[in-house]
């Protein structure tokens, strides 16, 4: 990917329960991480989200998770590596079926919540997710967290023959190792739009951020995750898009 792409978690409503402001976010992003039914969403919501992505020319990715609707996929589960491989493969297949009906294709994979975090910490889980991708479509990139040292996942991806996209966050604080500060900690989430846009631009330029321990942190990212669940976050997404477009124009 030649420039920093914006991605957002989409299609996380369920039945009559609405999560996120997808219609407001979709026009401003490049990549839509579509929930596959295990942590959120249902067939109707998924198909509606796919139609919205197609309308705005947004690339669709699978957003698989642990089977945890009650906990919104944010709780780790004691799944074996084989179970993780199978549950990711199952969700890829479900999304691909609805994509086919809409004349689009699954373009990448980004695990959700606890599965995403567990994958970043545990090579066995990372390997299981990669095996699911290889079984489904070896061409699909896997999105994972950009940290201070990305050599371990890069080495594993090379061994498996999987492409990685490294992801950073504009609205989250980082620790010294380049991992997200827990939401349970104070100042883990940025709310000031100016701070969020500044962090996005620093990541896009490859400039250092200030980690929670005071050290300088450079994150080499392919894509930037943005959120859109309230009017303030929508405004931040629009500001980030405008800032990145201005940066691209000045570089051309």
Q: How far apart are CA 119 and CA 191, in angstroms?
A: 27
Q: How many of the other CB atoms lie within 10 Å of CB of 43?
A: 11
Q: What's the pLDDT tens digit per position in 3-15? A: 899 999 999 999 9
d(CA 108, CA 129): 12
pLDDT of residue 125: 98
Query: In whole angstroms, how far apart are CA 118 and each of 101, 125, 226?
Result: 32, 7, 21
Banded pLDDT at 182 (limits 50, 70, 90): confident
Nearest to 104 by CA among 64, 153, 47: 47
What pLDDT does 251 receive?
77
Res. 175: pLDDT tops 50? yes
**Which H or E run includes 31?**
strand 31-35
The CA–CA distances, whole Å, from 39 to 51, 67, 121, 159 equal 21, 6, 20, 30
> Among positive and negative, which fits the CA dihedral 12, 17, 21, 22?
positive
Spatial distance between the Cα atoms of 195 and 82, rounded to a whole number of angstroms: 42
**Domain 5-251 is found in CATH 3.20.20.70:** no
Give 65-94 pLDDT, tens digit per residue.
999 999 999 999 999 999 999 999 999 999
DSSP code at position 172: B
- Under a CB-based contact definition with an 8 Å cutoff, are residues 177 and 202 in contact? no
pLDDT mean over 144-156: 97
Among the ranges given (40-54, 108-122, 200-214, 231-245), the one the predictor scored with the smallest mean pLDDT: 231-245
Cα-Cα-Cα-Cα torsion 130, 135, 141, 147, nearest 10 degrees, comes to 0
Average pLDDT, the chain: 95
**Structural domain spans, the chain:** 5-251
pLDDT given at position 172 = 94
Q: What average pLDDT does range 134-158 have in this prediction?
A: 97
pLDDT at residue 1 above 60? no
Does pTM top 0.75 for this prediction? yes
Query: Please, which pLDDT band fits residue 2 given cuts at 50, 70 and 90?
Result: low
178, pLDDT greater than 70: yes
């Amino acid at each position: 990917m030649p420039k920093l792409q914006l991605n957002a978690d989409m299609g996380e409503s369920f039945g009559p329960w609405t999560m996120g402001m997808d219609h407001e976010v979709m026009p401003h992003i490049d990549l839509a991480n579509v929930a596959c039914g295990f942590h959120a969403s249902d067939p109707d919501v998924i198909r509606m989200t796919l139609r919205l992505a197609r309308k705005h020319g947004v690339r669709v990715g699978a957003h698989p998770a642990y089977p945890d609707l009650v906990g919104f996929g944010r709780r780790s589960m004691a799944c074996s590596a084989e179970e993780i491989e199978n549950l990711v493969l199952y969700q890829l297949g479900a999304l691909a079926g609805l994509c086919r009906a809409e004349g689009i294709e699954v373009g990448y994979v980004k695990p959700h919540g606890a599965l995403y975090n567990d994958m970043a910490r545990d090579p066995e889980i990372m390997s299981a997710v990669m095996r699911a991708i290889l079984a489904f479509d070896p061409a699909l990139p896997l999105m994972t967290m950009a940290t201070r040292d990305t050599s371990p996942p890069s080495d594993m991806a090379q061994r498996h023959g999987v492409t990685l996209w490294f992801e950073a966050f504009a609205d989250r604080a980082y620790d010294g190792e380049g991992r997200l500060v827990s939401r349970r900690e104070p100042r883990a989430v940025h709310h000031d739009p100016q701070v969020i846009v500044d962090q996005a631009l620093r990541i896009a330029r490859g400039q250092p951020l200030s980690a929670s321990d005071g050290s300088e942190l450079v994150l080499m990212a392919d894509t930037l995750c943005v959120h859109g669940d309230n009017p303030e976050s929508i405004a931040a997404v629009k500001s980030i898009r405008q800032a990145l477009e201005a940066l691209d124009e000045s570089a051309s």
